[in-house]
Amino acid sequence: MAFIVGSALRFRLGDEMRSRPRFAPVFLDEGFVKADSEFAGRAVQARRGLGFQLIIGVPLDKVTGLEPHMDELLAITKNSATHQSWITPITDVAASR
């Protein structure tokens, strides 16, 4: 968390080289898997308010707490035999709001 908050401050305040960084994605591996929907929503909105684009990777059975707060839900599936992966859109969450 401290790393994300520090990054947020740097993003908002910039540094001596430029006023703001050139990109704002934040990847969270299994972010918010133990959080309830209310906490996850507050955390997502806080990071969006700081200008970040969140990309959160979680197991499919842990997605329900984040569903009300996401724009898009994608499943990544890997075939262990062929070592190939593919992305499947699950639903257009933004259209269902």
The answer to whether residue 94 scores a pLDDT higher than 70 is no
Mean per-residue pLDDT of the chain: 76
- Mean pLDDT in residue range 33-41: 81
The answer to whether residue 26 scores a pLDDT higher than 50 is yes
The answer to whether residue 72 scores a pLDDT higher than 80 is yes
Among 71, 77, 36, smallest CA distance to 56 is for 71
What's the pTM value of the predicted model, to 2 decimals? Answer: 0.62
pLDDT for res 81 = 93
Among 91, 18, 29, smallest CA distance to 54 is for 29
63 vs 22: CA distance, rounded Å: 29
Specify the DSSP class assigned to residue 54: E
